Amino acid sequence: MANDNTISVSIVKGCEGLAIYLNDCRICGSKPWGGGVFLQEWANMPVQNVIDAIGESNLRAALDAEAERKVTLKAKKGERPQHG
């Protein structure tokens, strides 16, 4: 597992295709049902390298979109948004 300034990145091949994992969390691709094969793994990759690869503006846009999605879901459930 990575420390605060690093992240582990893995590419896993399953029967339905490839998946990418960040710190053991699948972020895209098919779930490798019944296990999978690690094709490539990078341990202790600096987080800044991942941010640079994604692009800071893309990352900010994705985070803003996720925050808005959560607010919308809470509103649909009748929950009040939290501030702070």
CA 72 – CA 70 distance, rounded (Å): 5
- The answer as to whether 83 is a domain residue is no
- Strands 17-22 and 6-14 turn out to be antiparallel
Domain that holds residue 52: 6-77
pLDDT digits (tens, 9 = 90+) for 43-79: 999 999 988 988 989 889 988 998 998 888 888 888 7
- The answer as to whether 27 is a domain residue is yes
Question: Residue 59: its pLDDT value, please?
Answer: 86
- List C-alpha distances in Å: 42 to 30, 31, 50, 51: 20, 19, 11, 15
CA 18 – CA 7 distance, rounded (Å): 19
pLDDT digits (tens, 9 = 90+) for 5-48: 999 999 999 999 999 999 999 999 999 988 899 999 999 999 99
- The answer as to whether 84 is a domain residue is no
Q: What is the number of structural domains in the chain?
A: 1
- The answer as to whether 21 is a domain residue is yes
pTM assigned to the model: 0.66
- The answer as to whether 82 is a domain residue is no
